[in-house]
Chains A and B, each alone.
Chain A
Amino acid sequence: MKFNTVIIGGGLAGLVAGISLQKAGNSTAIISTGQNALHFFSGSFESMEEAPQRVTDLFNKAGIDLHYTPGVRLMPMGTFKKSALSLEDISLFPEPAIGHKALIVSLTGYHDFFCDFLSEGLEKQGMQCRIKLLNLPELEQIEKSPSEMRSVQIARTMDRIWENVVREIRILLRDEDTVILPQVFGLKDASVLSRIRQGIPAQVVFTGTLPPSVPGVRTQMLLKQHYELLGGTYLMGDEATGAHVYDGIVHSVVTHNLGNHFLEADNFILSTGAFFSKGLRSNPFEISEPVFGLDVEQAPDRSDWYNPEFMREQPYMKYGVATDASLRALKDGKPLQNLFVAGSILGETRPELGTGGGLALRSALAAADAILNTTAE
C-alpha cells in the first residue's frame, strides 16, 4: 500500500501528526502497536505554557474541548501541580487554594482513588474535608468482580447513571463549596462532565485515578475517530519490524501483520514512544531504536543510566533518538532524508520542544509541517 506519509506509532504525537497531514490532503497510515500512553494521560499537557490556536482547533474538530488556564491542578495524592493547557475534565486554579470546604466522594470498594491522601493534602492548604463513599445499587454487577473495579469499567456504568450520582451528592452536600470526584465519568462523551457540574450546586473537581485514565481513553478514541473520518488508515495492533532504506531515503516499512506487503510512502514519521512503548529498546549493553537502528543519545556505561534515588530525575529518561534541526532522524550521524521523529522517543534531546504532552504536540506539528513544506517545494 502506498501513502504520502506513514506514521509509526499511534499515540498522541502520531495522531496529531496524522490529523494535521490528512487535513492538508496528505494521505497517511498510522501503525500502532496496541494502545498507547494516552491511556495513562493525566488530562493536562505537560510543558505547554502556551495554547497554540492550531492545537485547540485540532482538538475541537475532533470533539475534544481544551482549555488554557495557567495555574495548578489537584493531583490524586492531594498535591498540586503546575499546569496550563488541559482537557475539560481538569479544573485549574490560580493557586493551591481551591475552596473552603470540600466533599470528597468515592465509591465503596474502589481502591484506585485516594480520598484520605486528597483530604490530608487539602487540609494542609487550610481546607475542611469530608469523605463520603457512595453505595450505588447499579454498581452491584461490577462489585461482584471487585478486582475489576477499575476506572473504565466504572465509567461505563456511571455514564448511564450519572443523574443518580448527582442526586446522591445533592443529598450528601451540606455547606461544602467544592465536590471532589474521581475521573470515572465521560468515557465516550465528555458532555456528562458539564451536566454533572451543572447539577451540583458547588464547584466539581474531577481528580485522577490509577490507570486506565478515563479522559485519556476518551481522548485517544476521539482523536482516532477523527483521524479515520479524515480518511486516515489506522492499523491497530500492528508493529513496524523493519524498513527498506536506500541512500539515506526510507522507501517502505515492514510490519508484523502485513508481512511482505510493505507500506510505501514519500515520508515517514517515527513516533513510537520511549521505553514503555518500545520505541527505545535496552539491554545490558546499550539503548537502541529497533525499527531503523537510529542513533540514540545515551551514556555508554550502564551504571550512568540511573539515579539511585527513585524520585530524582533519571538520566535514562532523557535519552532519545538524535535528530537534525528539522527533526529528521540521524543514523550513523547522517540524517535520513524523509524520516521525521516526534514524541517521547526524542527524550530530552530537544529540550526546546519540552517534555511529555508538550513535546508530543510540538514535535508532531513540526514534523507534519516539515513534510508539508518538502511536499510543497
Chain B
Amino acid sequence: MSNNEFDVIIIGGGITGAGTQRDCAMRGLKTLLIERSDIATGATGRNHGLLHSGARYAVNDPESAQECIKENMILRRIASHCVDPTDGLFISLPEDDLSYQQTFVDACRRAGISAEVIDPELAKRLEPSVNPELTGAVRVPDGSVDPFRLCAANMLDAKLHGGQVRLQTTVTGFIREGDTIRGVHTRNLVTGQEQDYYASVTVNAGGIWGHDIAALAGVTVGMFPAKGALLVFAHRVNNLVINRCRKPSNADILVPGDTVCIIGTTSTRIPFEECDCVAVTPDEVNLLITEGAKMAPSLSATRILRAYAGVRPLVSSDDDPTGRNISRGIVCLDHEERDGLKGFITITGGKLMTYRLMAEIATDAVCRKLNIDKSCETATTPLPGSEEGSYEAVARKIWEKPSMAQKAAAARMGSRATRIQTRNTLDQALICECEEVSVAEVENAIERLDASTLTDLRRRTRIGMGTCQGEFCACRAAGLLAKAHDCIEKERADLADFLQERWKGNFPIGWGDTLREAEYTQWVYKHVLGI
C-alpha cells in the first residue's frame, strides 16, 4: 500500500470519527482521519460533558437509556482519566409533579439503571448547593466526561495503532469510479496544499456537517440542526450532577465538569447556514440562569464564565427507508445498500455517551465490506492515559510530592503524565495559572497531540478555560507555539483569533466580574502588550 492508500478514511475529527478510527486501527486497518478544523470542534465539544446514566431517557426512550448505562459503565473503565464518576440527582421541586418520580424510577430500573430514591434531607447533605425546597430526589450513576480529552485519547490511541490524522484539512470532493467511492480530494486549509487519498471504504462521521459531506458524495442524509445553548459557571458549584425529575425540558441539567459547572440546555431549530456561527442570545442566557437557579439557587450569584452553543446532529428517520438504523439514536447508513453507492458509510445521530458503540457499529460495517473478521475490543481496552486508574494514584506514582500543577496534569493526562515527568524545574512554570497548566504540558500537547493553534491547545490542556479566559496564558502559550512552529507572524494572528474566540463566549454574559476581567484583558493586550 502506498503512502496515500488506506483501508479506511474517516471524515470528521469529532468523538465519533476519533472513536471509529481507534476501533478500525485496533482491528488492524490502515486508517486516515481527516478533519477540516481541529478535534472536537462540533457537537463533541459543545455540550454538557454529561456522563449520562441514561436516566434522562428512561421514560421516553428506553433504548437510548439502555445504551447509555451500558456505555457509562464501559467509559468508567476504559476512559477513567476522562471521566469523573460523581453520581447525579434527579430532584423534584414544589412546582414539579412528585408522582412522576415513581414513573421515572420504574423506567430506570427497567433500563437497568440503578435509581435510588433518597430523602431530600440526605440529598441536601450530599449536594449542599441543591435547592433546599426540593420535595424529592433520586440518585443515579450520572457523572461528567471531558469530551476534548476523550476525543484526543481516542485519536492518540488510533495513532499508536498506526493511524494517521490530518487536521486543518477539508474534503473538497470524492474520487469516484462508477458507483464506488475510491477516496477523497483534500485541501490543507493552512498551507493550501491539495492531496488525494485513497481507501476501500470512506466513513462519513461529520456530525451535522455529515449532511454536506453526503451531498458531496451525491447521496442524501436528512438531518436537521438543533441549537443548544449552555452557560459555564466559574467554579464547581455542585459536585453531583443535578437534573430535574420531570419530562426533559430546557436548562434542567447542571453538570460539574473539571473546575467549572455547566448549565444547559435550550433547543432551537436553526437553518443549516447557521451551523458554523451559532450565537447565544440574551433570552437564552436569561432562561438558563432562571432555570438553573431553580436547581441550585447559588447560581444566581455565581460568576458566569462563558456562554456557548452547539448544534445537535439529529437525523430524520423518514429519510431512511431501509429501516436499517439500529436504534432511534444511532444511525449507520451503508450507502451501498441504501443508495447503491459502494465504499461509503455514514455514521451519525447518537450522542457523546454512545460514541464507542457508534464506532463499533461503523467499524463492523467497514469490516463487513472488507471481509475482515475481527471482533471489537474497544469496550475492554483502556484508552491511553486510563491504564492506571485514579489521578491520585498516577500523581503519587510519578512524583513523590506532587505539586498542584503536577496533580492537575495527572488529572488531565492520566498515566500519560509520565511524558512530562522528567522535565526540568523551569518547565514546571505555569503557562495557564487558573487551570495549572505547565510549560511541559503545553509542549507535550504541541509535540504529541497535534496542537497547532492556541485554540487547539485549549482543547487539549484547558489553557484559557479558567477564570481569566486567557489573560496571561494566551500570550505565554503563543510564545511557545511561535518557537515550536518558527512562524511568528502566523502566531500573531492566532493570538488575535484566540482572544476573539474567548470574547465571543464572554460578551453574552458580559457583566460583573466577567466585564471587569474583559476590561483588564483589553488593557493588557492593547495597552501593555500592544497587539
- Residues of chain A at the chain B interface (Cβ within 8 Å): 37, 40, 42, 46, 75-77, 79-81, 108-109, 111-112, 114-117, 119-120, 143-144, 146-147, 149, 208, 210-211, 213, 274-276, 278, 281-284, 302-303, 305-306, 308-311, 314, 316-317, 356
Name the contact of A316 in the complex, choosing from B499, B515, B528 (C-beta under 8 A).
Answer: B515
Residues on A with beta carbons closer than 8 Å to the beta carbon of B511 = 282-284, 302
Contact A77–B512 (Cβ < 8 Å): no
Name the residue in B433, B522, B528 with the highest tally of chain A Cβ atoms < 10 Å from its Cβ: B528
* Segment touching A, from B61-69, B308-316, B320-328, B474-482: B474-482
Q: Which of A143, A213, A283, A311 contacts B499 (CB 8 A)?
A: A311
What is the interface of chain A mostly: helix, strand, loop, or mixed? loop
With beta carbons under 8 angstroms apart, the residue of B282, B428, B429, B489 that contacts A302 is: B282
- Chain B residue numbers with a CB within 8 Å of A119 are 488
Interface string of B266-294 (1 = CB under 8 A from A): 00000000000000001000100000000
Is A111 in contact with B428, judged by CB distance below 8 angstroms? no
Q: Which 10 A-B pairs have the closest CB atoms?
A: A75-B530, A146-B429, A109-B426, A310-B503, A120-B488, A306-B507, A147-B430, A275-B519, A282-B511, A79-B530
B520 within 8 A of A: yes
In the complex, chain B residues whose CB is within 8 Å of the CB of A316: 510, 515, 519
B523 in the interface, Cβ–Cβ < 8 Å? yes
In the assembly, what is the distance between CA of A260 and CA of B507, in Å? 39
A310-B500 contact given A75-B529, A117-B488, CB 8 Å threshold: yes
Q: Please determine whether B429 and A210 come into contact, CB atoms closer than 8 angstroms.
A: no
A147 partner, pick from B433, B489, B504, beta carbons under 8 A? B433
Of B425, B502, B516, the residue contacting A146 (CB under 8 A) is B425
A147 touches B429 (CB 8 A): yes
**Is the interface on chain B under 10, 10 to 19, 20 to 34, or 35 or more residues?**
35 or more
* Chain A residues positioned under 8 Å from B479 (CB to CB): 111, 114-117
Can you pick out 25 interface pairs between chain A and chain B where the beta carbons lie within 8 Å of each other? A37-B523, A46-B527, A76-B529, A81-B530, A111-B429, A111-B431, A111-B476, A114-B479, A116-B488, A117-B482, A117-B491, A143-B426, A146-B428, A147-B429, A147-B433, A208-B528, A208-B529, A210-B472, A282-B511, A283-B512, A303-B282, A310-B522, A311-B531, A317-B519, A317-B522
Cross-interface CB contact of A276 among B282, B483, B502, B519, cutoff 8 Å: B519
Does B369 sit at the interface, judged by CB under 8 A? no
Query: Given contacts A146-B426, A276-B520, is CB(A76)–CB(B528) below 8 Å?
Result: yes
Contact in complex: A117, B492 (CB < 8 Å): yes
Known contacts A111-B479, A208-B529; is-contact A40 B429 (Cβ 8 Å): no
CB of B474 to closest CB in A, whole Å: 11
Interface pair A42/B519, CB less than 8 Å apart? no
- Residue of A with least CB distance to B281: A303
8 further contact pairs, Cβ within 8 A, besides A76-B528, A117-B492, A275-B516: A46-B527, A112-B476, A149-B429, A208-B530, A276-B519, A276-B520, A306-B507, A310-B503
Q: CB-nearest residue of chain B relative to A216?
A: B528
B residues adjacent to A (C-beta < 8 A): 282, 286, 405, 425-431, 433, 439, 472, 475-476, 478-480, 482-483, 488-489, 491-492, 496, 499-500, 502-504, 507, 510-512, 515-516, 518-520, 522-524, 526-531
Please give, as numbers and ranges, the residues of chain A lying within 8 Å of B491 by CB-CB distance. Answer: 117
> B482 to chain A: which residues have CB within 8 Å?
116-117
A113 nearest CB neighbor, chain B only: B479
B530 touches A306 (CB 8 A): no
Contacts of A308 in B (CB 8 A): 503-504, 507
Residues from chain B with a CB closer than 8 A to the CB of A37 are: 523
Q: How many A-B residue pairs have CB under 8 A?
A: 129
Contact A282 B499 (CB under 8 A): no
Bound form: Cα–Cα A81–B525 in Å: 13
How far is A311 from B511 in the complex, measured between Cα atoms in Å?
18
By beta carbon, the residue of chain B nearest A120 is B488
Interface centre among A75, A115, A117 (most CB of B within 10 A): A117
Which residues of chain B are near A120, meaning CB under 8 Å? Answer: 488-489, 492
What residue of chain A has the Cβ atom nearest to residue B527's Cβ?
Answer: A42
**Residue in contact with B510 in the complex, picked from A75, A81, A210, A306, CB distance below 8 Å:** A306
Q: How long is the Cα–Cα vector from A108 to B439 in the complex, in angstroms?
A: 13
Within the complex, what minimum Cβ distance (angstroms) separates A237 from chain B? Answer: 19
Measured between beta carbons, the chain B residues less than 8 angstroms from A210 are 472, 475-476, 524, 528-529
B306 CB to nearest A CB, Å = 14
Contacts of B530 in A (CB 8 A): 75-77, 79-81, 208
In the docked arrangement, what's the CA distance between A284 and B499, Å? 23
User: How far is B456's CA from A204's CA once the two chains are assembled, in angstroms?
Assistant: 37
Please, which residues of chain A bring their CB within 8 A of the CB of B504?
Answer: 308
Nearest-CB distance from B347 to chain A (Å)?
Answer: 35
Bound-complex Cα distance A321 to B425 (A): 49
In the bound assembly, the distance between CA atoms of A305 and B507 in angstroms comes to 9
Assuming the contacts A274-B519, A310-B500, asked whether A40 and B426 have C-beta atoms less than 8 A apart, the reply is no
**Whole-angstrom distance between the alpha carbons of A163 and B497 in the complex?**
41
Contact B516 A278 (CB under 8 A): yes
What chain A residues lie within 8 Å of B489 (beta carbons)? 120
**With A and B bound together, what is the CA distance between A108 and B520 in angstroms?**
28
Chain B residues, Cβ within 8 Å of A76: 528-530
Min CB distance B402 to A, Å, is 15
CB-CB under 8 A from A356, the residues of chain B are 527
Bound CA–CA A308/B425 (angstroms) = 40
Query: Whole-angstrom distance between the alpha carbons of A278 and B480 in the complex?
Result: 34
B293 to chain A, nearest CB (A): 13
**Nearest CB of chain A from residue B221's CB, rounded to whole Å:** 32
How far, in angstroms, from A316 to B472 measured CA to CA in the complex? 22
- Cα A369 to Cα B293 in complex, Å, equals 50
**Interface core residue of A144, A147, A302 (most chain B CB under 10 Å):** A147
A317–B472 alpha-carbon span in the complex (Å)? 21
Give A67 Cβ to nearest chain B Cβ, in Å.
19
Q: Are B500 and A143 in contact (CB under 8 A)?
A: no
The residue on A at minimum CB distance from B431 is: A111
Nearest chain-B residue to A301 (Cβ)? B282
Smallest Cβ-Cβ distance to B429: which chain A residue: A146
Q: Which residues of B contact A108 (CB under 8 A)?
A: 426
A347–B427 Cα distance when bound, in Å, is 41
State the Cβ distance, B28 to closest chain A Cβ, in Å: 43
Closest chain A residue to B282 by CB distance? Answer: A303
Whether A116 touches B516, Cβ cut-off 8 Å, given contacts A76-B530, A308-B507, is no
- The answer to whether residues A310 and B433 also contact, given A111-B439, A275-B515 and a CB cut-off of 8 A, is no
Chain B residues whose C-beta falls within 8 Å of the C-beta of A284 in the assembled complex: 286, 511
Which residue of chain A has the shortest Cβ distance to B472 in the bound complex? Answer: A210
Give bound CA distance, A109 to B507, whole Å: 34
A100 CB, min distance to chain B CBs, angstroms:
20
Determine the chain B residues whose CB is within 8 A of the CB of A310 once the complex forms. Answer: 496, 499-500, 502-503, 522
Q: Chain A residues with Cβ under 8 A from B503's Cβ?
A: 308-310
CB closest residue in chain B, given A282: B511
Write out the residue numbers on chain B whose beta carbons fall within 8 Å of the beta carbon of A309. Answer: 500, 503
- A275 contact set on B, CB distance < 8 A: 515-516, 519
Contacts of B476 in A (CB 8 A): 111-112, 210
**Shortest CB distance B165–A (Å):** 27
Task: Kindly state the separation between the CA atoms of A310 and B531 in the bound complex, as whole angstroms.
Answer: 12
Considering the chains assembled together, what is the distance between the CA atoms of A326 and B520 in angstroms?
A: 29
A179 CB → nearest B CB, Å: 20
B300 CB to nearest chain A CB (Å) = 11
